Amino acid sequence: MPPKKKSSKQKPVAASPPPVHEEMMDVDPTPSSAPPAEKHPVDLEADLKLSLFNLILDDDIPYEEDCLRNPYALRCWVQYLEFKRDASDEAKFFIYERAVKQLPGSYKLWKEYLDLRVSRLLTGEQNESTGLRSYKENIDSPADPKSEWSIVNNCFERSLVLCNKYPVIWLMYCNFLMHQPFATQTRRTFDRALRSLPLTQHTRIWDLYLKFASSVGGETAIRLWRRYLKFEPENAEKYVSVLLSLEEPQYAEAARVLASIVENPNYKSPNGKSHFQLWSDLCDLVCEHADEIDLETNTDTLLSGSEKLGKVEKLDVDGLLRAGIATFTDQVGKLWNSLAMWWILKGESEKARDVYEEAISKVMTVRDFAMVFDSYSEFEETLLQHRIKTLTEKEANVGADNDDDDELDDIEIDLLMARFEKLMERRPFLVNDVLLRQNPHNVGEWQKRVELYLERGQFEKAVDTFTKAFATIAPKKAVGKLESLWVKYATIYEENGEIASARNIFRKASKVWFKTVDQLAEIWCQWADMELRNDNMEDCRNVMKEATAPPRGVKVSKIVYTDETISPQQRLVKSLKVWSKYVDIEEALGTIESTKSVYENIVELKIATPQIFINYATFLEENDFFEDSFKVYERGIDTFGYPIAIDFWNLYLSKFIQRYKGTKLERARDLFEHAVDNVPPKYARNLYLMYAKLEEEYGLTRRAMGIYDRATQAVDDADKLELFTIYIAKSSSYFGLPSSREIYEKAIEALPDRDASKMCIKYAELETKLGEIDRARGLYGYCSQFCDPRIDPKFWELWHKFEVNHGNKETFKEMLRIKRSVQAKFNTEVSLISAQLLAAKQNALPIEPILQPDGNSIAALEAQIAQEGEQSRMQGFVKATVTQIDYGGKEKKAVANPDEIEISMSDDEDDEEAEEKIERRTVPDAVFGGLANMVTDKDEVEENVGAKERFKRLK
């Protein structure tokens, strides 16, 4: 608050003028363009005091007096300045100078004073990228040492005497200096700020310092960035971008920094770049600017202390790129190309070629190989074209005077052409080398390599490839069929007529510890085939005999075929593949006894399959050893159980019948009895049919019928209907139709409901043919209990047709009554109705209960079902009565029954009276289940009426 003024009656006391200080000399209250006149120093000081005294107005006297009384109170000066906020800048400068003289350490006073001073020269906001502001119009040049810029600089210097720990003042001063053409002074001021402020506040200074470095550029910027990286090493990438953005880009320095970055495994890019991306940037830089980069670069470390980026005393591009190749194994193609391109740009073509050759001999993937090979071929092609173009221009300019030079040029071109053609010819081999480096145990790739040599007629290299392959491939790790490689090796010598060499190769292959026994067996089989192709029959048999010979010192019974701890040579004796080959050779080249011996050995070793037994039996049969073949079938049956045994029985019995027919009937019967003794029902059908057919053709018909009867009981349920059908047909053909009645009755009793209904229909049709209408009708009535009208409409159509053809009104009505009863049986079960009603409620169907006066639950349920109509879940339910009586006394319209027949109403009265005497039968209570208990008064249930009454009401 300003001090209280004195009473108006008192005269104001004039304040004495303030003392004049040297800092006040910067204030120029009355600037004039005319040069000042020469005055005496005493007169000059008197004039200055008078001009400063004129800046104090009458209203300022209370504040002046308060400041004189309390010169060290910040509050007094702040109130005075607030009072003078609308005054001229010179008046404010006058007050600020006196205030900071008394309070030189006040940050608030200096901040406001400096802001006021700077605002007279600069305007607007700082540019984020440069940190500069706009100049005001009509101001002095910053380069003039007597301009206001120097006065402001002086003010900043005076403020920093005691306020040198405030980063804001330093930032203001440095930013102000950046608007002046004094780069050295600005740089030194930044350095003073860094020395004065604590390390925690250096980040604020460096942000502006780097903007100043960018605006200055040149060597100053480089040195400033080097200093900054010692403070913030993670911003090395920004330094690289600055080096490349200079007017004279410093490619060598940028490469040095990038090399230091990639050599530091702990470096994390602030831009999110991966380590490989940094390597790629380095490769692109050294390849694109190979000429500008000096191999001898700065030897200074980028950082000091424990967090060094790296020390690069010499930028060895070759070593750097090779280090990257060793580090990034999945991107070696690009790095190899970068290394080769480096030497190409340096003019070292031979070194570049060496790099390409080294690359294609070391890359591990086809993708990297394709990248390197394409670059290599393009390099050779470009080199050849360039040489041809140079030679053409030389010939055009010089002529044909120098024959020696022309001959040398032609030789050089031929050499380049030969190199290029050789490179393209080597491509398939180089690709094969890459794949073999990936997996040296890949048998397929070794075979491809052999084929490449054989296609070019290089037999010796193909043999060398085989030798190298067998020395490289580990049999346990082999990928592919290793035995096929050995066979191919032997086949080459066989095709050249060197059978002895081929045998030696097979002999070596037979001693290899293969992964599986089948591979070793394939070697022996191919060896035998080679002997056959060359008509060496005995040698072929001896080879297979040697292959199947039991190992020495080991019991064959103790050898386990799947035991991989035992060598495959010992387990070969139980290889079915070898024995199968052996038995085929013996059948073709050996004797019957030798072939039988081989078959017996297979059976004794317990490696025989069902097909082996069948082949053995077929072989014996072809050589007229019928009984021996039958024994083989029996041994197969004993060895294998069902279901395999059924195939043996079918073959055995069919062969036996085919051989002996009816001559050995009793033996055949014993065989069949033994066959059907323990056969599962699932496989009994064919055996019984064959047995019955045998009796029909060579035995007794009665026995055949007995077999059919046994078959109907022994077979599976799925086959019973077919067996009964066959049984009935055979019985009818041998003993007449009436004889099948007993079979029909057994079938209906034994078959499931669905099959029983089919059998009932056939039985009824039979009785109809025989004229037994009542028996047929009884069968239809019995069968009706299995047939739901909704599911089996065909049955009811047949019965309907039967009654139309053979029945009368009474029987037809009885059929309709039974149909309704059956339908009610399938629809009125308590559990079914409850489930349907519950489902209807869950589906939000409208169910409104109809309350009857007497509370009859049955009538309410029927009314509810009638209202639901098609929405009801109980579709297809046909009630015994269709007339519904409303308890209000009105009769409702009857519901039409689609199962009714139309009877003419023109009958005489006698017929009507007779019809009215028809006995009416109610639906049994058992049909309704538990719902019958809910009826309390049966007299009030709607009346039961017959068909005639319904016809009248419909009329």
Structure tokens at 484: 């096929």
Alpha-carbon torsion 624, 630, 635, 639, what sign? Answer: positive
pLDDT recorded at residue 333 = 86
More confident residue, 868 or 628: 628
Q: What is the mean pLDDT of residues 353-367?
A: 90
| pLDDT above 90: percentage of residues in the chain | 18
More confident residue, 465 or 749: 465
Cα–Cα distance measured from residue 711 to residue 909, given in angstroms and rounded to the nearest whole number = 61
Given its phi and psi angles, is residue 492 left (phi above 0), alpha (psi -120 to 50 degrees) or beta? alpha
Secondary structure (H, E, C), 520-536: HHHHHHHHHHHHHHCCC
pLDDT in tens, 298-339: 444 444 443 445 444 566 777 777 887 887 887 888 888 888
* Lowest pLDDT segment from 333-347, 575-589, 600-614, 904-918: 904-918
Q: What are phi and psi of 239, to 5 degrees?
A: -60, -40
DSSP 135-162: EPSS---TT-TTSHHHHHHHHHHHHTTT
pLDDT in tens, 686-728: 888 888 898 888 888 888 889 888 888 888 888 888 888 888 8
Q: What is the mean pLDDT of residues 887-910?
A: 43
Alpha-carbon torsion 361, 364, 369, 375, what sign? Answer: negative
DSSP 472-539: H--GGG-BS-HHHHHHHHHHHHHHTT-HHHHHHHHHHHTTS--SSHHHHHHHHHHHHHHHHHTT-HHH
Are 882 and 950 spatial neighbours (Cβ–Cβ below 8 Å)? Answer: yes
Q: Which residues pair with 134 in a beta bridge?
A: 123
pLDDT in tens, 86-113: 888 888 888 899 899 999 999 999 999 9
More confident residue, 909 or 864: 864
pLDDT recorded at residue 949 = 58
Cβ-defined contacts of 833-842 (< 8 Å, 24+): 833/874, 833/931, 836/872, 836/873, 836/874, 837/873, 839/873, 840/868, 840/871, 840/872, 840/873
| Nearest to 234, CA basis, from 303, 328, 301, 297 | 303
Beta strands in 702-838 (DSSP E): none
pLDDT recorded at residue 829 = 53
- For 803-837, letters b (16+ CB in 10 Å) and e give beeebeeeebbbbbebbbbbbbbebbbeeebeebb
CA distances for 905 relative to 677, 898, 909, 918, 945, angstroms: 68, 18, 10, 17, 17
Residue 930 has pLDDT above 70, yes or no: no
Q: What is the mean pLDDT of residues 147-157?
A: 90
- Other C-beta atoms closer than 10 Å to the C-beta of 544 total 24
Q: How confident is the model at residue 469 (pLDDT cuts 50, 70, 90)?
A: very high
Are 436 and 449 spatial neighbours (Cβ–Cβ below 8 Å)? Answer: yes
Cα–Cα distance measured from residue 176 to residue 174, given in angstroms and rounded to the nearest whole number = 5
| pLDDT above 70: percentage of residues in the chain | 77
For residue 606, give the amino acid letter: K
Are 360 and 376 spatial neighbours (Cβ–Cβ below 8 Å)? Answer: yes
Residue 418 has pLDDT above 60, yes or no: yes
Are 931 and 829 spatial neighbours (Cβ–Cβ below 8 Å)? Answer: no
- 3-state DSSP call for residue 442? strand
Are 20 and 48 spatial neighbours (Cβ–Cβ below 8 Å)? Answer: yes
- 3-state DSSP call for residue 905? coil
More confident residue, 279 or 820: 820
Burial degree of 376 (CB within 10 A; 0-12, 13-18, 19+): buried
CA distances for 10 relative to 4, 5, 7, 69, 585, angstroms: 14, 10, 6, 20, 150
Q: How confident is the model at residue 506 (pLDDT cuts 50, 70, 90)?
A: very high
CA distances for 626 relative to 4, 71, 616, 660, angstroms: 148, 142, 11, 11
Q: What's the gap between Cα 438 and its chain centre? A: 25
Cα–Cα distance measured from residue 845 to residue 102, given in angstroms and rounded to the nearest whole number = 97
Q: How confident is the model at residue 404 (pLDDT cuts 50, 70, 90)?
A: low
pLDDT recorded at residue 304 = 40
Averaged confidence pLDDT in the chain: 78
Structure tokens at 377: 């071929």
| Nearest to 52, CA basis, from 104, 101, 16 | 16
Residue 889 has pLDDT above 80, yes or no: no
Alpha-carbon torsion 619, 625, 631, 637, what sign? Answer: positive
Q: What is the mean pLDDT of residues 507-535?
A: 91
- Other C-beta atoms closer than 10 Å to the C-beta of 872 total 17
Burial degree of 851 (CB within 10 A; 0-12, 13-18, 19+): exposed
Query: Rounded to the nearest 5 degrees, what angle is found at the Cα of 864, between the Cα atoms of 927 and 949?
Result: 65
DSSP 423-435: HHHHHHHHHHHHH
More confident residue, 747 or 922: 747
pLDDT recorded at residue 142 = 80
Q: What's the gap between Cα 125 and its chain centre? A: 54
Residue 730 has pLDDT above 80, yes or no: yes
Integer Rg of the chain from CA: 59
Residue 70 has pLDDT above 60, yes or no: yes
For residue 590, give the amino acid letter: G
What is the reported pTM? 0.60
pLDDT in tens, 156-210: 999 999 999 999 999 999 999 998 888 999 999 999 999 999 999 999 999 999 8
Residue 29 has pLDDT above 60, yes or no: no
Q: What is the mean pLDDT of residues 421-436?
A: 91
Q: How confident is the model at residue 775 (pLDDT cuts 50, 70, 90)?
A: confident
Q: How confident is the model at residue 449 (pLDDT cuts 50, 70, 90)?
A: very high
Residue 742 has pLDDT above 80, yes or no: yes
pLDDT recorded at residue 18 = 42
pLDDT recorded at residue 770 = 84
Q: How confident is the model at residue 20 (pLDDT cuts 50, 70, 90)?
A: very low
Q: How confident is the model at residue 402 (pLDDT cuts 50, 70, 90)?
A: low
Cα–Cα distance measured from residue 684 to residue 670, given in angstroms and rounded to the nearest whole number = 16
pLDDT recorded at residue 165 = 92
pLDDT recorded at residue 644 = 87
Cα–Cα distance measured from residue 53 to residue 799, given in angstroms and rounded to the nearest whole number = 139
CA distances for 679 relative to 638, 692, 786, 809, angstroms: 13, 16, 32, 53
Residue 943 has pLDDT above 70, yes or no: no
SS3 breakdown of the chain: % helix, strand, coil, rounded to 5?
Answer: 70, 0, 30
* Lowest pLDDT segment from 193-202, 285-294, 789-798: 285-294
Whether omega for the bond prior to residue 643 falls within 30 degrees of 0, making it cis, is yes
Residue 55 has pLDDT above 50, yes or no: yes
Cα–Cα distance measured from residue 135 to residue 178, given in angstroms and rounded to the nearest whole number = 12
